[in-house]
Amino acid sequence: MPLLEETALPQDHPPTVPVVIIGNGPSGICLSYLLSGYKPYLDTTTVHPNQILYRKLQETKHLPITEQDLEYLSEGLEGRSRNPVAVLFDTLLHPNADFGYEFPSVLQWRKDKQHHIPHLVLGRSSPGGAWHAMEGSMLTISLGIWMELPGVNYRDLTNDKQRDTTNDRATPEEISSYYQNYVKIKGLQKNFVENTYVTSIQKLCRGRSEEVVELGHSIGADLGLGDGGNEVFEGSGVECENNGAECVLWEVRGYQQVQNNAHIPFCLFAENVVLATGASDSPIRLGVEGEDLPFVYHSISDLGLALGRGQLDMNSDPVLVVGAGLSAADAVLCACNSNVRVLHVFRKSTEDSDLIFKQLPKTLYPEYHKVYNMMCSQTYKNVTPSPAPNRAQAVSIASSVCAKMCPKPQLATGGNASVGLFPDYTSFPDHCVVSFQSDMKCLLQGINTLKAFKVSMALVLIGTNPDLFFLKGQGQYLGQDPTKPISCKQNPVDIYPYTFECTKEPGLFAMGPLVGDNFVRFLKGGALGITSCLLKRLKKKEKLISNGGNDFI
């Protein structure tokens, strides 16, 4: 749907909505579903295998889960998420899933139009978010049924394309198609605005003297509110920590990209903003010399493009892959399947217990265990060890070492190389990249060695971080450690565990990878917590905002 009918910012008050969701991936879609009046009740025809939880659910079976005490229901539950509500919602949707069972959900969904909370979901692409940009030949880490959202069976939309009796994983294409169809089936299209780019989110406050103040910088003149503009800020009166001021609204600015790449600016006011942007915005960088050279990339899609253009083949110099996670493993598989030589560099030892491969069952993830087997058995043969230089020394001698680079790595496979592995793959455990050179050579440092290799391209795949550039200080102050940038694994957004509201910003919520829930099966808990919080506030105040919400939607 178009965000604004006009081709410029309105001259009067910008539209006001109760909730604006930034991000239209599975987090934003699931939250839109619950905010649209769909309410989860206990299905009395089912029995949950956790008897303690089941007894709690029966105590208030006449109430939807969103109106119950989530802390009470979550008490004592354990799962693979740090967020208790995420574990609760997951066990209601997929009881005992971690034990290999596929029990039916104990929830039934009923739509209550009276509890619909008007909202907008802003996304850069069509519903599904980053899933549209992922490599189509890969398989998801999670089972297909774990990728589904409430109320629509995944297999029903994918014609039950089960690949074998032990593997029900899906391709990104299947998942992105499922999410798009989900929005249509549930009638959520009117809530979604595609091709939108948020550039600024500012908090607006009003002091007791009715004078509007803005935490950041003044925008009154820019909005054209004039002397009588304060009336648009009649909000719900959430208390602010700014010298007794009342937090009124969040101002969301950005632009919508339309035909001919034209940009239409927009400005919205929202009482609540939900950050559901995911974690794939900003690749983590090594921070070494030459990382900005044109042959160094930070996305696996660049490897696919190079292969598609015929720029790589068996006669090319090897592709350097940096990283020990699943993205790096996908790049290794992609290159090896195309008969392209691979040098695989990673800091950890192959015996490191934190390697993701050690946490994946072999029967479900044979391709990743194939890569792990190669990482262990096809390691580089150290020919002439030498004392390792410090970083400054390593950079200074990079050029001279590169002049003596090894044309093809020698393997130290011993007798444990497995049949079916790729012979043109070489791993470099306990190594790091010192520098990239303009002549397409890369300098690697091991425990006691310094090596240089000429490569055709380098892929640095060591993770991604969210890019919250549209927030004050890039949102760093929202983290559990406000002195460090937001990181989904190391420094997630600090939230209240049962509402997902940011501890440092009333009216600002976060969900999904931003709070550490990187798997779809757990990010749905954020939708439950946020919806429960807003519905309880709505019931208490009888309204969320005082003007504009329903008319705008």
Dist. CA 167–CA 144, nearest whole Å = 9
- Binned at pLDDT 50, 70 and 90, residue 148 comes out as confident
pLDDT at residue number 115? 83
For residue 403, is pLDDT > 80?
no
Could you tell me which residues come within 8 angstroms of residue 380 by beta carbon, excluding any fewer than 6 positions away? 409, 410, 411, 412, 426, 427, 428, 451
**Phi, psi angle pair for 431, to nearest 5°:** -125, 155
Per-residue pLDDT tens digits for 434-463: 999 999 999 999 988 899 999 999 999 998
E strand residue ranges, 13-168: 16-22, 38-42, 107-111, 119-122
Q: What is the pTM of this model?
A: 0.76
For residue 172, is pLDDT > 60?
yes
pLDDT at residue number 355? 92
pLDDT at residue number 543? 59
For residue 339, is pLDDT > 60?
yes
- DSSP code, position 406: -
- End-to-end alpha carbon distance in the chain: 11
Could you tell me which residues come within 8 angstroms of residue 461 by beta carbon, excluding any fewer than 6 positions away? 283, 298, 299, 300, 321, 322, 323, 325, 327, 328, 331
**Neighbour count for residue 413 (Cβ, 10 Å):** 17
pLDDT at residue number 332? 94
- Which superfamily is assigned to 16-159+166-198+254-263+267-280+465-539 in CATH? FAD/NAD(P)-binding domain (3.50.50.60)
pLDDT at residue number 247? 56
CB contact at 8 A, 55 and 469 = no
pLDDT at residue number 518? 77
- Which superfamily is assigned to 285-381+422-462 in CATH? FAD/NAD(P)-binding domain (3.50.50.60)
Tokens describing residue 281: 């915005």
Ranges of H-type helices in 14-99:
26-35, 51-59, 70-74, 84-93
- DSSP code, position 388: P
pLDDT at residue number 311? 94
Top-confidence range, 51-65, 349-363, 531-545 = 51-65
- DSSP code, position 338: T
For residue 213, is pLDDT > 80?
no
Per-residue pLDDT tens digits for 292-311: 999 999 988 899 889 989 99
Q: CATH 3.50.50.60 in the chain: give the residue spans.
A: 16-159+166-198+254-263+267-280+465-539, 285-381+422-462
Per-residue pLDDT tens digits for 66-92: 999 999 999 999 887 889 999 999 999
Cα dihedral across residues 492, 496, 499, 502: positive or negative: negative
Per-residue pLDDT tens digits for 262-280: 899 999 999 999 999 987 6
- Binned at pLDDT 50, 70 and 90, residue 145 comes out as low
